[in-house]
Amino acid sequence: MTDILKSILSELPEKKISSANFEGANIVLYTSDTDFFLTGKPKIREIVNKIKKRIELRVDKDYLMPNEETEKTIRSTVPAEAEITNIIFENYRGVVVIEAKKPGLVIGKMGSILQEIEKKTFWTPQVQRSPAIPSKITEDIRSVLYQNNVFRRKFLDNIGKKIYKEWNPEKVDEWIRITFLGGGRQVGRSCLLLQTPFSKIILDCGIDVAAQGKERFPYLDVAEFDLSEIDAIIVSHAHLDHAGIIPYIYKMGYEGPCYMTAPTRDISSLLALDFIGVAYKKAATPLFSTTDIREMVKHSVCIGFNEVTDITPDVRLTFYNAGHCLGSAMTHLNIGNGLHNLLYTGDMKFGRTRLLDASYINFPRLETAIIEATYGGKDNILPPRQEAEAQLIKIIKDTIERKGKILIPELGLGRAQESMLIIEDAIRQGLLPEIPIYIDGMIWDINAIHTAYPEFLSANTRGMIFQDKNPFSSEIFKRVGSSAERKQVVEGGPCVVLATSGMLVGGASVEYFKEFAGNKKNAIAFVCYQGVGSLGRQVQEGVKEVKMMTEGKDELVNVNFEVHTIDGLSAHSGRNQLMAFVGKCSPRPKKVIVNHGEASRCLDLASTIYKTCRIETAAPKNLETLRIK
Ligand SMILES: [Zn+2]
């Protein structure tokens, strides 16, 4: 038994605890004494306050009320207005999950109803909101976790054992270094390796979908990247340039945990499945299979915002809202028990959007910040949001008035939902006529995940979902699910099409591009970043002819339609927002490292931060290592 468990048990009355184990960094004590379960909590709380670790007391599975009887008791204790939709038993953990439309009514005043359930059944109840739109992927993921509960129990226990193995910071020289394996002076394939004397951690592991060959992948073949030595992977958000390679890492034999928020787990699984589908469509061998995605899910450890969690003996992780897309997190690492505090922003938006709140800026402690620079160049001043929204609405209006069709290529995650909220609102307010808005590609599935995690959305959007006015279920949105339906859209009248992918690299948006591009009545509006080398970037830069493959044959597509770029809707911070973030960040970092931007933008942002804020900066290239302590 690890020392930490021994010392906890020594503080409790004898023979009350039948077994103790870890669920990641959390400690779970099981008792066969149901009286102690009901009365022992104050004592447990005392220990929690002393050792500052989460401890939960649950009842040993042999002493729980039988499932059927428990279900009856729950249904008779919880008021019917709560509308319970599902009750899931996790016998081996002593946990019962109650899914309801009105979770507040299941909890009761000050948790009174949950306490009553505990008292009557000895189960530990947990409450979940039933999703307004069912999400198949979220359900599939829950069932993968449920089917693998025996594996999960052992896996999470082993993580805890590794985290709490004895370490003595006074015994060794402390150092921290960070190596850029991807995302250094570029956008795409983000991957950082953090090393300390006790830990090797990967921050993000993405693919550059706009690049070719080896350039698509991070430098995973360097000597210091040995998969068997990696303790943890942290994923900032689900976009492919940050999470696209994770299933492949499991295929290569990684067996450790992957930390992320729950929406990031669900969306990155969905995007990974789509990535396989896109490879098959191009008759290429996919990089990984569904088995590897399942492994990622099995090894995932989900953490909410502002929750402090130990992940290795000397590293403590906290996720903070990044404001970039659903579930996107800034990673704060407290290294060596406060020796150094590192922030990796990932992609972030320091500004409110319709979908999300602005990124967080108040940290308990902070010495080094690694920030993104997608729009970090001095010319990348984004116009105000309202102006950008008005511009999008005007482009749609003008196109519809001349009887054209408008294509908005979207990243399935984040941007698409933002555009939907803008258009829905404009139609509701009468700024746009009631034209059909077609949604093609993965956007629809991702909408469902948004409504499954309303607590990650902005207060306004969350409120709409709670009041049964879910904007994503509005009747103005029409789902295009088959190629026959797509043909109807192409042959039909004026409309707006939102389709993935966002940079016109594969997916439905490319099909619409081929059909719409030749007619000058039509238009395309780019609302997200277009990677160097992507078709989207070429069109944006004014290419007049594009050679494309259609059913195995080369075809020349003329680009005659109107091409618009709307920068102000970006899910990234513009130059001013990046400068404001650094300026307002509390506490002020002593060093800022700039990554995730084209070379000139990274260098420009780094030198401006140095000049205006007098903070030491760096803009490392890929394969460079910086010692930060
Ligand atoms: Zn992103």
Cα of 474 from ligand 1 centre, angstroms: 26
Q: What is the pLDDT of residue 167?
A: 60
pLDDT, one tens digit per residue, over 239-251 is 999 999 999 999 9
Q: What is the pLDDT of residue 278?
A: 77
The rounded distance, in Å, linking the Cα atoms of 317 and 306 is 9
Measured in Å, residue 284 CA sits from the centre of ligand 1 at 25
Distance 346 CA to ligand 1 centre (A): 8
Q: Ligand 1 center to residue 586 CA distance, Å?
A: 24
Centre of ligand 1 to C-alpha 142, Å, is 25
What is the 121 CA–ligand 1 centroid distance (Å)?
45
C-alpha 237 to ligand 1 mean position (Å): 7
Nearest Cα to Cα of residue 189 among 233, 243, 261, 267: 243
Mean pLDDT of 260-282: 90
What was the pLDDT predicted at 108?
A: 94
7-11, 195-199, 234-238, 581-585: which range is least confident on average? Answer: 7-11
Res. 529 pLDDT band, cuts 50 70 90: confident
Instruction: Starting at the earlier edge strand, list the strands of the sheet with 55-59.
Output: 17-23, 26-31, 55-59
Q: Looking at residue 40, what DSSP letter applies?
A: -
- Residue 129 above 70 pLDDT? yes
**pLDDT level of residue 144 (50, 70, 90 thresholds):** very high
Q: How are strands ordered across the β-sheet holding 177-182?
A: 300-302, 258-260, 232-234, 200-203, 191-195, 177-182, 625-627
Query: In this predicted model, what pLDDT tens digit does every residue of 429-472 receive, in sequence order?
Result: 999 999 999 999 888 888 889 988 989 999 999 998 888 888 88
pLDDT at res. 456: 95
| 243 CA → ligand 1 middle, Å | 9
For residue 168, pLDDT over 70 is answered with no
* pLDDT band at residue 255 using 50, 70 and 90 as cut-offs: very high
Measured in angstroms, how far is the CA atom of residue 273 from the centroid of ligand 1?
18
The Å distance, Cα 184 to ligand 1 centre, comes to 15
Q: How far is the CA of 498 from the centre of ligand 1 (A)?
A: 18
Global confidence as pTM: 0.91
The segment with the largest mean pLDDT, out of 215-224, 266-275, 525-534, 599-608, is 599-608
Q: What is the mean pLDDT of residues 586-599?
A: 97
CA 574–ligand 1 middle distance (angstroms) = 14
Q: Nearest to residue 259, comparing CAs of 193, 157, 329?
A: 329
- Among 213, 217, 214, which Cα is nearest to 190's? 217
Q: How confident is the model at residue 257 (pLDDT cuts 50, 70, 90)?
A: very high
- What's the gap between Cα 345 and its chain centre? 13
Ligand 1 centroid distance, CA of 172 (Å): 38
How far does the centroid of ligand 1 lie from the alpha carbon of residue 324, in Å?
Answer: 7
